[in-house]
């Protein structure tokens, strides 16, 4: 059970020089240094457990997030952990509704990134104290208790707490007995969704071989290695130069063959008409989706792109820079995306991501989380494993990203995240 009083909050600015090798480069972020604001919570409990939380950044600006974390610290220090998780919705609102700090948000930008880091640390500490990995803490939680962690303010016009409870109740009924395996070449038999995650893991895709700054020789080498390692889903960065995109996409499609999945990511580079025209030229390579084709704030623009590309069989994916649950609500209402990409550090930690997962279920839109930065894969695997076991129960059109600087996430066999049983968030 949750125990102890938070006696210390510290935060570190951690950076990796990924720009030196072009790692992580795309059409808008040409020289990223993958970084993180890294929060550590300590308590006066005798167990000595600590909570660790991060938010992802690209180098310059990490120091600004660190300042924002320190500005939030007074809401956390000397608080009893049991009191925090006993009224997690209230604690979330306390952080996001600070009467002065919310003026530089609200619930968006630097202050929200800092909120995510602090809350990620609280969730990590709670899961460790319960002796469970985060996904298991969520899966085992009573639905009413789980919903008490979510702030439903601003989204009740599309999802009420009672509707969310019905979704979770259906998940409770099914998660121990629901569904046949969706894996080819496996005899169809009924297994629990939790057992499936523990034995097979969650599907993942890679962008590691197709960063925009890589020369063709590097791209070919890494793509070949990924194929040997068993990857079946590949994403390529596009958007800077059309002819270069055509050449690189042709190279990758020829390497991976016609049966494997290819996705594309423009990282917000285009205007709406430009996105439609550009993707019409790239349609020959049969991408499953185009990710972030335009400004992440342009909901109606995404809707227009989505409608225009539907006849070409190309979906729209977005979410890694969606500020909060309200933006996701409107994207879903406008039918502006076919693949929803939560981010474990852009939104307000687990609390806000739970709200978005439940909205996605109501609108029947598959969730394919954004990850790939420092620690993002380690964090997001807990959210998507929870989603599969307790909410969506489907792997159709779903996968999560695996590519990053630093230590890689645990993979269970070829191209899948492992359902781990270690406590906390790895």
Catalytic residues, which ones? 237, 370
Find the helix packing angle between 299-309 and 325-333, rounded to 10°.
40
Tally: H helices and E strands in the chain: 15, 11
**Backbone angle region of 72, left / alpha / beta, with phi > 0 → left and psi within -120 to 50 → alpha:** alpha
C-alpha to C-alpha distance for 209 and 235, rounded to whole angstroms: 8
Burial 121-157 (b: 16+ CB within 10 A, else e): bbbbbbbbbbebbbbbbbbebebeebbbbbbbeebee
> How many C-beta atoms surround the C-beta of residue 374 within 10 A?
25
Cα angle 10, 148, 137; round to 5: 65
**CA–CA separation, 15 vs 37, rounded Å?**
9
Cα angle, residue 403 at apex, residues 388 and 26 outer, rounded to 5°: 115
192: which residues sit within 8 A by CB, 6+ positions away? Answer: 175, 176, 177, 178
- Residue 138 structure tokens: 């969520």
H or E stretch including 307? helix 299-309
Tokens found for residue 252? 């990758």
Angle made by CA atoms 302, 210, 225, in degrees to the nearest 5: 140
Q: What is the largest CA-CA distance in the chain?
A: 62
Pull the structure tokens for residue 305: 């792109």
């Amino acid at each position: 059970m949750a125990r102890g009083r938070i006696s210390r909050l510290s935060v570190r600015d951690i950076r990796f020089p990924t720009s030196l090798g072009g790692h992580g480069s795309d059409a808008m972020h040409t020289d990223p240094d993958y970084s993180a604001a890294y929060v550590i919570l300590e308590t006066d409990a005798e167990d000595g457990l600590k909570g660790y939380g991060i938010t992802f950044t690209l180098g310059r600006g990490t120091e600004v997030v660190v300042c924002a974390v320190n500005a939030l610290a007074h809401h956390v220090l000397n608080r009893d952990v049991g009191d925090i998780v006993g009224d997690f919705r209230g604690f979330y609102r306390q952080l996001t509704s600070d009467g002065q700090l919310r003026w530089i948000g609200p619930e968006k930008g630097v202050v929200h990134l800092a909120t995510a880091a602090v809350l990620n640390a609280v969730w990590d500490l709670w899961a460790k104290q319960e002796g469970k990995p985060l996904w298991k803490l969520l899966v085992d939680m009573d639905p009413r208790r789980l919903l008490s962690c979510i702030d439903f303010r601003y989204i009740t016009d599309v999802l009420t707490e009672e509707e969310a409870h019905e979704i979770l109740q259906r998940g409770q009924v099914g998660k121990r007995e629901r569904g046949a395996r969706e894996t080819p070449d496996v005899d169809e038999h009924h297994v629990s969704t939790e057992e499936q995650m523990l034995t097979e893991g969650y599907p993942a895709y890679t962008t590691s071989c197709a960063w925009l700054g890589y020369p063709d020789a590097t791209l070919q080498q890494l793509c070949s290695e990924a194929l040997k390692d068993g990857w079946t889903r590949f994403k390529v960065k596009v958007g800077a130069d059309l002819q270069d995109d055509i050449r690189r996409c042709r190279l990758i499609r020829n390497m991976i063959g016609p049966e494997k999945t290819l996705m594309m990511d423009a990282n917000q580079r285009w205007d709406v008409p430009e996105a439609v025209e550009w993707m019409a030229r790239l349609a020959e390579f049969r991408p499953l989706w185009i990710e972030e084709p335009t400004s992440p704030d342009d909901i109606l623009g995404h809707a227009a792109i989505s409608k225009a590309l539907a006849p070409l069989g190309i979906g729209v994916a977005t979410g890694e820079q969606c500020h909060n649950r309200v933006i996701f609500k409107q994207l879903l209402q406008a039918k502006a995306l076919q693949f929803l990409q939560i981010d474990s550090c852009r939104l307000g930690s687990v609390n806000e991501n739970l709200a978005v997962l439940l909205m996605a279920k109501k609108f029947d839109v598959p969730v394919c989380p954004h990850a790939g930065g420092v620690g993002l894969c380690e964090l997001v695997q807990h959210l998507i494993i929870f989603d599969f076991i307790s909410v969506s129960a489907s792997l159709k059109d779903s996968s999560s990203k695996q590519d990053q600087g630093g230590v890689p996430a645990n993979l269970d066999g070829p191209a899948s995240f492992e359902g781990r049983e270690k406590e906390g968030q790895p």
